[in-house]
Amino acid sequence: MENISKIQAFASKFKETNLAFTPTSIADAKNTLLHLDFPTTKTEFWKYTRLAKLAQLRLNQEKIRENEQVVAPLTDNGIVRITNGYITSFSKEIAGLTITPFSKCSEQQLSLIGKKADLKQNIFLALNTLYSQEGLFIEVEENAQIEGVFQLLFHAHGENCFAPFRVFIHVKKGSAFKLIQQFTASGEHLFSLPIVEYLVEENARISCDKLQMENASSFLLCEDYSIQKRNSTVLLNTFSISGAWVRNNSSFLIEGENCETNLNGAYLLKDLQHLDNHTIVDHIAPHCNSNELYKGILSGKSTGVFNGKVFVRPNAQKISAFQSNANVLLSDDASVNSKPELEIYANDVKCSHGSTTGQLDENAVFYLRARGLSEKSARSLITQAFIAEVVDKVEQKEVRDFIKNKLVELHDWTN
Amino acid sequence: MINIVNLHAEVEEKKILKGLNLNVKAGEIHAIMGPNGSGKSTLASILAGKEDYTVTAGNVEFDGKDLLELSTEDRARQGLFLAFQYPIEIPGVSNVNFLKSALNEIREYRGEEQISAKDFLALVKEKSALVELDSKLASRSVNEGFSGGEKKRNEIFQMAMLNPKLAILDETDSGLDIDALRIVANGVNKLRSPKNAAIIITHYQRLLDYIIPDFVHVLYDGRIVKSGGKELALELEEKGYDWIKEELASNAE
């Protein structure tokens, strides 16, 4: 019998896409899966996140007719439900917004997809490209200010299911768009692979909150690719609330001048959870600001990774780029690997990065107890305050409240 | 109110308190003075329940209870308050929100009803005015970005909010300018009543011009070696501590 690679065995039951991606991207994806395998921890990009358990799974792509109504939307604005990688419920019409499934997109529209992503080096991007059965093309009309928050509810359900999905969001000139992406799972051995691309045109603005709330046997790998034109603003907040294994690869290319880019993340890990945040912020143009704030609280035997890379290219003068990662370890068995990186090739820039990992401030706990608060209340107040700095970056109050309540419930905090 | 008998304590095997006795009755204010390293702040920390110290002998009775058996929070709920020498900054924890939780946990412990939002706000308004603490400061994160004087005023504000039976002020006057000192002292004096008591730990006689103590004690080498009235503070200010050390040495001979 022919020797096949782990990735080929992994993908053996998957169905090739019928979507009209460009022939080169399909060929590149096939080629990547033929020549590359699952990366090991010897690869720098995967140093602290093991793929062995995922690679062992034998998954199917299973279409489910109805979305389990386990996921309640946060607001009643536009909602698209995506279950196991298939669209299961479609949004109502919203003025200024055109939402088209990939299967109904023109080749010209689909040709925009995957432009800046390196298909030849990334097996997960290749898996997503070759096996996504559907995708969503969202266009925000020029100068349209979309009211309320649009929601994408990703749900994985069943046993041994693979759920790849692709989203392309074209935020046209002068428009503004607010989005929530919610990720949930019910069942066992589920692997969700949603990849979202953002093309943010001149003077446009997008804010996006990712709420990752999968279950204790699920795998979630999110990739985000953003390209910004001049005077545009991007805000991405990622909250990793539950889920056994989560990896986020977020990549931001800042092509135009005078852009604002804000990335924030909070992760609260317990038991055996593993979370890895990899971010890349690539400053090409001058006069831009980027801010990155990631904070984590780890208990039990959980493990966390932060790797944030900021490039400042030779032409990117007068930019400022800040990056910070702070962690609190609540148990002896929890651990975190944090690596903020800066590569600067311009000479007139303001940049800083920092990383801290410590324990709860016992003097603060004592101070609050000396005022009559129980030890549990004191610890929970300080922990919540630590994370609140990130939660407060969320623009919508209903989303902030949802996150706070969810965390209080999951971590048995006093409110 | 509080009766400290033969208290011995150490930290990392270093003996700090070596048989301290102090009895404070309701309505009284006691000042404890003494040179650096004599054990003043250790005493305050032990009474509040800080776990870094080991009590090796002695006992402390507080309002009929064995104080040393109580957790830090239960001491506070029984009515003991420590104004910290170095108030801690707690980013993100709102001053008034945590005080409301604290007040309600204290009330629950005592079997009392929770305070209503309206009554609480009125209380904040009244008590912050008492120490001339801007109500904006009162609702900010605990001590974050406060000046030294603001931190100390915040301690007295919290004390006023919790209305303790026994207040221990650990060098609350250190580093205060004269205006802040007057405000702090004024706050303490207004809270004075025949039902409560205070222990004021200080380096300087200056504070005692504003808060008139009933008793002044000198803490030296882990024990109270001399007690007197308010005039003892003046004497210490004038003559320093050397004469007490000499007196002790000659007594020992």
Whether A225 has a pLDDT exceeding 90, the answer reads yes
In this structure, is residue B18 part of a structural domain?
A: no
Of residues B49, B81, B105, nearest to A373 (C-beta): B105
Q: What is the DSSP string of B199-233?
A: EEE-S-GGGGGTS--SEEEEEETTEEEEEE-THHH
Chain B CB contacts of A363 below 8 Å: 88
Decide: A344 and A314 in contact? Cβ < 8 Å.
no
Q: What percent of chain B has pLDDT over 70?
A: 100
Which residues constitute the domain of residue B185? 28-49+71-252
Question: Would you list which residues of chain A are within 8 Å, Cβ to Cβ, of chain B?
Answer: 361, 363-364, 366-375, 377-378, 381-382, 384-386, 388-389, 414
Chain A residue with CA closest to B106: the answer is A372
Q: Do B158 and A371 touch (CB under 8 A)?
A: yes
Instruction: Give the ipTM.
Output: 0.95
Per the DSSP assignment, residues forming a β-bridge with A97 are: A140
Q: What is the mean pLDDT of residues A161-190?
A: 96
In this structure, is residue B137 part of a structural domain?
A: yes
Which residues constitute the domain of residue A156? 6-411
Residue whose tokens read 């109805």: A66
State the smallest CA–CA distance between residue A287 and chain B in angstroms. Answer: 31
Q: How many domains are there within chain B? A: 1
Chain B residue with CA closest to A378: the answer is B98
Q: Do A372 and B84 touch (CB under 8 A)?
A: no
In this structure, is residue B173 part of a structural domain?
A: yes
CATH classification at residue B171: 3.40.50.300
Q: What is the mean pLDDT of residues A276-298?
A: 97
**Banded pLDDT at A64 (limits 50, 70, 90):** confident
Chain A CB contacts of B163 below 8 Å: none
pLDDT value for A313: 97
The mean predicted confidence, pLDDT, of chain A is 94
pLDDT value for A211: 97
With CA atoms as reference, report the closest residue to B101 among A410, A399, A379, A312: A379
With CA atoms as reference, report the closest residue to A263 among A304, A217, A211, A324: A324
In this structure, is residue B14 part of a structural domain?
A: no
Chain A CB contacts of B73 below 8 Å: 369-370, 372-375, 378
Q: What percent of chain A has pLDDT over 70?
A: 98
**Run of H or E residues at A146:** none
CB hemisphere CA count around A163 (13 angstroms): 36
Chain A residue with CA closest to B73: the answer is A372
- pLDDT tens, position by position, B129-152: 988 888 787 788 999 989 888 899
Of residues A367, A372, A382, nearest to B77 (C-beta): A372
In this structure, is residue B12 part of a structural domain?
A: no
In this structure, is residue B61 part of a structural domain?
A: no
Chain B CB contacts of A374 below 8 Å: 73, 105
pLDDT value for B139: 80
Least confident of A22-26, A70-74, A103-107, A131-135: A70-74
State the smallest CA–CA distance between residue B10 and chain A in angstroms. Answer: 19
User: Under the phi-then-psi rule, with left for phi > 0, alpha for psi from -120 to 50, and beta for the rest, what region is A379?
Assistant: alpha
Whether B201 has a pLDDT exceeding 60, the answer reads yes
Chain B residue with CA closest to A361: the answer is B90
With CA atoms as reference, report the closest residue to A229 among A205, A208, A249: A205
pLDDT value for A2: 60
Q: What percent of chain B has pLDDT over 90?
A: 70
Rounded distance between C-alpha atoms, residue A218 and residue A246, angstroms? 8
Q: What is the mean pLDDT of residues A277-295?
A: 97
Residue whose tokens read 């290749």: A126
Q: What is the β-pairing status of strands B90-94 and B80-83?
A: unpaired
Q: How many domains are there within chain A? A: 1
User: Under the phi-then-psi rule, with left for phi > 0, alpha for psi from -120 to 50, and beta for the rest, what region is B159?
Assistant: alpha
Whether A68 has a pLDDT exceeding 60, the answer reads no
Whether A69 has a pLDDT exceeding 80, the answer reads no
